[in-house]
Amino acid sequence: MIVFDLSCSDGHRFEAWFRSGAAFDEQAEAGILVCPICRDTRISKAPMAPRVARAAGVMAPPPVAEERPQPRDETAKTLARLRGLIEANCEDVGSRFAEEARRIHFGEKDARGIYGEASSEEAAALREDGIDYQVLPWWQRRND
């Protein structure tokens, strides 16, 4: 296992573990890596400082962790408003998201806003087919 410091196109930094460097490359190319802060899928490796031994058997102290942005109440409110807009203006196609997105993209169905779920494999296949979509944070409502 290997840990990489990553960043999204908005500059948010985070770390993630991978089976190997090649595993990171495969997942990044497939577009299945997602920023935990803004849900951006344009992820790249960020510069990292390796731990270097100072003397025989003595490791340098780990670098000081940078302060990472934390979701705040205002972010949760904004996401709730976004969810309301999506639910009011788009059709929930549930687990048929990839199938419906493909039909719309290829003109088999009329264009319309949809939302739903897709597996990582389905999402990667949509990207490979040139079908644009956006991953959004979605959570179970507490008062449904």
Are 125 and 30 in contact by the 8 Å Cβ rule? The answer is: no
Q: Is residue 65 part of a domain?
A: no
Q: Which domain holds residue 103?
A: 73-128
CA distances from residue 71 to 33, 77, 115 in whole angstroms, order as listed = 19, 10, 23
Q: Is residue 62 part of a domain?
A: no
Q: Is residue 136 part of a domain?
A: no
pLDDT at residue 38, as a whole number: 87
Q: What is the mean pLDDT of the chain?
A: 80
Q: Is residue 56 part of a domain?
A: no
CA distances from residue 60 to 24, 84, 122 in whole angstroms, order as listed = 27, 49, 43
User: Which residues pair with residue 53 across a beta bridge?
Assistant: 59
Q: Which residues of 81-114 are buried (b: 16+ CB within 10 A; e: fewer)?
A: eebeeeeeeeeebeeebbebbbebbeeeeeeeeb
Categorise residue 50: left if φ over 0, alpha if ψ from -120 to 50, beta otherwise: beta
Tell me which of 68 and 104 has the higher pLDDT: 104
Q: Is residue 79 part of a domain?
A: yes
Whether 97 has a pLDDT exceeding 90, the answer reads yes
Please indicate, yes or no, whether residues 31 and 77 belong to a single structural domain of this protein. no
Q: Is residue 137 part of a domain?
A: no
Are 93 and 100 in contact by the 8 Å Cβ rule? The answer is: yes
Looking at the structure of the chain, the number of domains it has is 2
Give tens-digit pLDDT for 1-60: 788 889 988 889 888 888 888 888 888 888 888 888 888 888 888 877 665 555 565 665
Q: Is residue 11 part of a domain?
A: yes
Q: Is residue 63 part of a domain?
A: no
